[in-house]
Amino acid sequence: MSPRPSATTCSELIRAWARYAPEDVALTFEGVHTTVAEFDGEVDRWARALLAAGVQRGDAVSILCGNHPDFLRLSFAAARVGAHLAPLNTWHKPEELRYTLDHSDAVVLLAVDRLRNQDFNAALATIIPELTSAPAPDRFGRFPSLRQVVALGSALPRATPLGEFLRRADEVGDAELHAREKQNAPDDLMFLLYTSGSTSKPKAVQIHQGPLIENGYQIGERQGIEPADRSWLATPLFYGLAAEQALMAAWTHRARVVLQEVFDAPEALEILARERCTVYYGFGNLTRKLLATPGFDRSRIHLRKGMIGFSVEDRQLAIDRLGVTHGVSVYGMTEMYGLVALTQHTDTRETVLSTQGFPLPGNEIRIVDPDSETPLPQGEIGAIQVRGRVTTGYFKDSDRTKASFTGDGFFRTGDLGSLDAEGRLVYHARATEMLKPGGVNVAPQEIEALLDEIPGIQQAHVCSVPDTRDGEVVVAFIEADPEATPPELIRERMRARAASYKVPRHFIYRSDAEMPRVASGKIPRPLLREEAARVLAAIPAGPASGVSS
């Protein structure tokens, strides 16, 4: 067990680490190693530049970039002066960027010009036309709070170059910075993280510094993180997985983070080998892309710990083929400071594959009847509610905040699960994802687990579509050879082990690359339903089908 950090603010977390072990490497990027003392000095300079720009306590600053050290410099510099970071999503289109920037009330925006094939200068010129105008604007019409745009690459005509922005740090002395820093408190915001909205605008989740540090420490303890570890981080920093889990689990344990600006499988394998990374944070799609890279050589990979995916098949792949033998199964949301429950790095394989572990210390999980919200006994499936280190609410959305909490302070997750006999959480499904073939409720994960056990099926994802006779029928998207593993064989094996309503009516064969995904790599149930409806509409009506497409 590693000592719990005494720091309760993110600025002091870095300060204390730099005092204790200044030569520890805090981060590695493109082969350049930055010690924690060097990083602390960089944060100081960026913090003074923010003060020179007029940033006040409680202000939001924003950034549009990949997994670059600048993201971390700005995050902790903002925290040092009592501000917080509201990062923009690099997968977003101009209108989505406009909404987030406006909603966050950011006063300063730092942005790259390009990221791989994305032209962000063009996007910013669309939503902030003043950046291409003359003379330089004092305000940006569509964004009443925004006062300055800083270019992290080639600048638009009216953006401030980064060098000029940082030179203004010389106008602010140490005394002014330290006076501001003394006002910092554990309940100051660190991040305003925007979660995807499927039928409405994204939610802005408020993440406070004290709970962020404590939860990060507890996550790291469960994962077995030690100072010698090196956490590979290609998942975007604007997501909770990176900003709440990976980063804070590492830095509360004096471990190094190894940044990859944008995920690319061949490049990732080189980084993993060269930097001897030991901690993995990857969804199943990242795991599959790494394994499918020509020349993949497991002997060069040193990953042993970390978060290894959400589905059973994802976890099996990471353990068996990537070698993450001490990886953990997790349950959480951005609203829960990343994770509320996870298995222990020393748990058995069966525990990791079948549960999401015990709640973290300081958190409570209860299972209630979805309608009455009456607590249910162990083993019964119901709605998951959480109390403890949970967001205080959604920024500028009091109605949604109120609807998300019970009268006694439990957060309504919208998920279904149960607690096993020992008190471990077993996740079942999103409440809105439950299938109802023939009028019977069934969790999609239950059907996917049955499919995963059939030889020849590499992965399976199920949804339901309307049916005039049965109300709903199950459709399975599978990665398999349709000749070696035809629908008739799959149905035969499933009927031997499960009730008939759990057997998919239709099978759609897809390679991993052809699976319907969103930008994060997830395969959401609504997208599966849309694709299933499109594919099935193009084939003759019949009692059952197996489609290769």
Q: Please indicate, yes or no, if residue 457 is contained in any of the structural domains.
A: yes
Model pLDDT for residues 502-515, shown as the tens digit of each residue: 999 999 999 999 99
Average pLDDT, the chain: 93
**Among the three residues 160, 179, 203, which one is the final residue of a domain in this structure?**
203
User: Does residue 465 lie in a domain region?
Assistant: yes
Instruction: Determine, yes or no, domain membership for 227.
Output: no
**DSSP H/E element including 44:** helix 36-52
Domain range for residue 128?
38-203
**DSSP of 412-433, one letter per residue?**
EEEEEEEE-TTS-EEEEEEGGG
Q: What average pLDDT does the segment 242-252 reach?
A: 97
Whose structure tokens read 């987030």? 100
Number of domains in the chain: 2
Region 340-345: mean pLDDT is 98
The domain spanning residue 64 has which CATH number? Answer: 3.40.50.12780
Expressed in angstroms, the distance from the first to the final Cα of the chain is 51
| Placement of tokens 């204390």 in the chain | 16
Domain presence at residue 332 = no
Q: Residue 269 domain-assigned?
A: no
- b or e along 266-277 (b: 16 or more beta carbons within 10 Å of the residue's beta carbon)? eebbebbeebeb
| Last residue of one domain, picked from the residues 156, 178, 203 | 203
pTM (2 d.p.): 0.86
Residue 318 scores a pLDDT above 90: yes
Proportion of the chain above pLDDT 70, given as a percent: 96
**Contact present, 460 and 478 (Cβ < 8 Å):** yes
| pLDDT single digits (tens) 412-470 | 999 999 999 999 999 998 888 888 887 777 888 889 989 999 999 999 999 999 887 77
Tell me, what's the pLDDT at 327?
98
Q: What is the DSSP letter of 224?
A: T
Q: Which long-range contacts (CB under 8 A, 24 or more apart) does 371-377 make?
A: 373/406, 376/418
pLDDT at 345 over 80: yes
d(CA 402, CA 414): 14
> Any idea what the CATH number is for the domain that residue 445 is in?
3.30.300.30
What is the average pLDDT across 33-46? 98
Q: pLDDT band at residue 381, thresholds of 50, 70 and 90?
A: very high
Give me the mean pLDDT over the 91-99 stretch: 91
So what's the pLDDT on residue 549? 44
Residue 154 lies in a domain: yes
Whether 91 maps to a domain, the answer reads: yes
Domain boundary among 203, 231, 257: 203
pLDDT at residue 201, rounded to an integer = 77
Question: With pLDDT > 90 as the criterion, what percentage of the chain qualifies?
Answer: 82
pLDDT of residue 152: 97
Q: Which of 223-232, 242-251, 264-273, 309-318 has the lowest mean pLDDT?
A: 309-318
User: Could you read off the pLDDT of 147-188 as tens digits, one per residue?
Assistant: 999 999 998 999 999 999 999 999 999 999 999 999 999 999
Q: Given pLDDT bands bounded at 50, 70 and 90, which one contains residue 546?
A: low
Residue 412 lies in a domain: no
Lowest mean pLDDT among 122-136, 298-312, 398-412: 122-136
Residue 431: what pLDDT? 82
CB atoms inside a 10 Å sphere around CB 135 = 6
* Region 331-343 average pLDDT: 97
